[in-house]
Amino acid sequence: MGSLDEGHLCVEIENGMKLGFEKEPETIAIVDAVKVLLLGLGEDANREGLMKTPLRVAKALREGTRGYKQKVKDIVQGALFPEVGLHDGVGHAGGVGGLVIVRDLDLFSYCESCLLPFQLKCHVGYVPSGQRVVGLSKLSRVADVFAKRLQDPQRLADEICSALHHGIKPAGVAVILECLHIRFPSVESVFLDSKHQGWVKVLVSSGSGVFGNENADAWVDFLGLLKFRGVTVEKIHTRDSMKQSWCPSHSSSIAKIPSELLAANPEMVAAVASILRSLGEDPLRKELVETPGHFVRWLMNFENTKLEMKLNGFTCGITDLLKSNGEVGSRSNEHMHSELNLSFWSQCEHHLLPFYGVVHIGYFCPKAFNHIGKSLLQSIVHFYGFKLQVQERLTRQIAETVSSILGGDIMVVVEANHTCMISRGIEKFSSNTATIAVLGRFATEPAARAMFLQSIPHDTASQIS
């Protein structure tokens, strides 16, 4: 076997971007804009961990909006194949009237209102006509063309439907999208709302031809093949209900962008507008006029204010308590306590994309010790979460801070979903990352680690996805 040309391989697979893209004017403009955003956050763009962030962000955005440069006809042409219908009798099958559905296409798109990625599951079907069918993979590729643009769910469904109808000329096309948008809390609200709902979910549809009427019989067959996925006509949002933006940035609590925020950060707002232009969009399009402000407002949650944590005077740790009672070195009176499923929200400093999940904290304390309140641990988690972060550092910082309060026997597990895993070339949906930090007894006693890990609920992944 021949050896791999490693350099050539990297050119081909690196985020799907062609050689030399980093020297293209669009990439340079995005890189410069991201540097402005980092400066506005009080960060040093030259520090280790951030030096390559502007280029990484440019790669992710350009790859995630590549649909602007793709054409449906280039995908569909040459992918139509002859297929006859029924030879005898009355009915529909094959290339004449036989319903074809491709289900559960996992895609992502960028929200045009806030520039955050959102996930979607696409179900697309068509009724062939003219004794010809289209290659099934083309349905997915056409859907991806329009998903890889700044989008709104209803418009995305309509564009997929219209493109397929004109490209393959069937008797009808039906599209249903299940969309999931992260509802990222502000740094102020997260301390006030312990039951923050992390997602906005909408179900939208679009149809043409025999699916043009929402009450048409063709929809009964289409939905009948989706019923086991929980998709029903009652759950589909109407066009009227989608006239108001689904994006959380338009919700009543955060929709109004403080004028002082925009006035204080004009360079950041201009930088986001520059990014929109570099992606091939018009920042003056009515749906995008407020987008720079929404993005800056969200990004400022992670401003490097260099604030010090205030622990409300809780400085007496377990070690101090044991010393005062003459019990240092004694473990007969200790038991393990845990606080599970502490929510967190953070921002990946490598790609400026959200990651979120839950934190589990275990520690040993004397049986007579009134264990630390959950609210204080949750505050510690939020304090370190609302920064430009990496999960490994977040885990370590939480462990070290809790250790300074409770003594050295600490174990922290962080389970997170990373938006960068779905909105870049890798596109690994439903993946989840876990990190561990162990101090004191947890570092030396496998049985202690096993006991704590067994206490973590098995359904944690479903809670954060």
pLDDT in tens, 270-319: 999 999 999 999 999 999 999 999 999 889 889 876 555 555 544 444 45
pLDDT in tens, 432-451: 899 999 999 999 999 999 99
Instruction: Please state, in angstroms and rounded to a whole number, the distance separating the CA atoms of residues 245 and 197.
Output: 18
Answer for the pair 102, 136: CB distance below 8 angstroms, yes or no.
yes
**In terms of pLDDT, which residue wins out, 439 or 263?**
439
Answer for the pair 344, 357: CB distance below 8 angstroms, yes or no.
yes
Pairing status of strand 334-348 against strand 388-389: parallel
Helix ranges (H only) for 363-433 are 374-385, 391-406
- What mean pLDDT do residues 349-369 have? 88
Helix ranges (H only) for 193-325 are 217-224, 259-264, 266-278, 291-299, 318-324
165 pLDDT band (50/70/90 cuts)? very high
Query: Is the pLDDT reported for residue 455 higher than 80?
Result: yes
- What mean pLDDT do residues 379-408 have? 93
- What mean pLDDT do residues 91-95 have? 65
pTM of the predicted model, to two decimals?
Answer: 0.83
